[in-house]
Chain A
Amino acid sequence: MKQLKNLMEDRDIALFIGRFLRVGVLTASAIALLGGFWYLVQSGAADMPDYSRFAGEGPGYTTFRGIFKGVAEGNATEIIQLGVLVLLATPIFRVFFSLLAFALEKDWLYVVITTIVLGIILFSMFGGLKI
């Protein structure tokens, strides 16, 4: 009976995570759509940038500060990048929720495993990998 109960909870958590993923993707798409629409209204008539030569994006598109500053000013391209951030955050939050779920189940082995995964992702975010 206890095992059955555990199984049910397991399933509830899995369903919650699945729903969360979908909401995350839809939110990210909605933000990107809004930003994209605004971008086309503002600069749709302009010539397209030369994408055949890689220049790399400036801090306005690549840092939290730059993106949020642009969003506050209502810049279309930074709104798109905000959508990108939400999209990137979605699976990372998924790992975090799994960590909570395993902790609730007192499955310490998987708490450790999930912490390692989260650690690797956070390392790549903040580990100064900007070579």
Chain B
Amino acid sequence: MSILIFSLILLVGAYAAGLLGSLTGLGGGVVVIPLLTLVFHVDIRYAIGAALLASIANSSGAATAYIKEGITNVRLGMFLEIATTAGAVGGALIAVFTPVNTIAILFGLVLIFSALMTIRKKNEHAEQTGSKWSYVLKLNSTYPTANGEVAYKLKNIGGGFSIMLLAGVLSGLLGIGSGALKVLAMDGAMRIPFKVSTTTSNFMIGVTAAASAVVYLQRGYIDPGIAFPVVLGVLGGAFTGARLLTIMNPRTLRIIFCIAISFVALEMIYNGFNHQF
């Protein structure tokens, strides 16, 4: 295959990944890794490098819209970034000592978990009693709804922080945004309404991914020939996806995609066990 053909096919594939990632809420980076490894037989290390870049582009590109609506909790994001960046750097470090097949199996498991998370029942309840630390760290805030500003308070800061540490490690190890785990920490442990947790998680993904991407760049995981079609394609797809989301509610589509992506995840796990990577 010539470089031109490879780049064009990859561009189209990355566009589809970005669109899919945006419609399902999984993020484009997560879909790019199976695309590169299973379809193009690219080494998973190059795939991880490219996926991290896609996550950063996605997260930073979407941040403007959310901040404008005043949903993102910037203080909470910054506080939790201590956990995610520390975890991400740690994850990127242990990645060298982790066999690629183990990484593929882990990736498949996280992908299935993420797919389940996107179709779960969402927490819309705003807590009115916060824990002691939520006051000390000034994390309680308000967010806009159809009925005006709603105040919410946070619980279990320590638990949320610990899950974020794990999310950071996985993000650094697998090259993904691990948005699903971030949302689990915020929705599940800290009891934040899902609109706030989803946007704050997106806000954090760029910084988390950048912390491990600088390690991967220096290790030579980021190849320009793969990087440019992936970044441009995923960004374009995510942009189209964001547009589509404003005019349609992809509930059914989301479930279908999540089932499809679970099969892809199973193939990653299967190949991982058979040492195909």
Contact = CB atoms under 8 A, between A and B. Distances in A.
A46 B7 contact: no
A114 B85 CA distance: 11
Contacts of A131: 93, 96, 219
Contacts of A53: 43
B82 A124 contact: no
Contact of A46 (B3, B221, B226, B229): B3
B222 A91 contact: no
B89 A120 contact: yes
Contacts, number: 208
Interface in A36-71: 36, 39-40, 43-49, 51-58, 61-63
Contacts of A17: 63, 67
Interface in B20-51: 40-43, 45-46
A17 B52 CA distance: 21
Given A21-B63, A87-B231, A130-B219, A48 B213 contact: no
Given A18-B63, A22-B61, A44-B4, A29 B235 contact: yes
**Chain A interface, DSSP helix/strand/loop, else mixed:** helix
How large, as a class, is the contact surface on chain A?
Answer: 35 or more
A44 B163 CA distance: 45
B217 interface: yes
B3 A61 contact: no
Given A84-B217, A91-B60, A110-B79, 13 more contacts: A17-B63, A44-B7, A51-B40, A51-B46, A56-B219, A56-B220, A57-B221, A62-B218, A62-B222, A88-B213, A91-B206, A98-B74, A117-B82
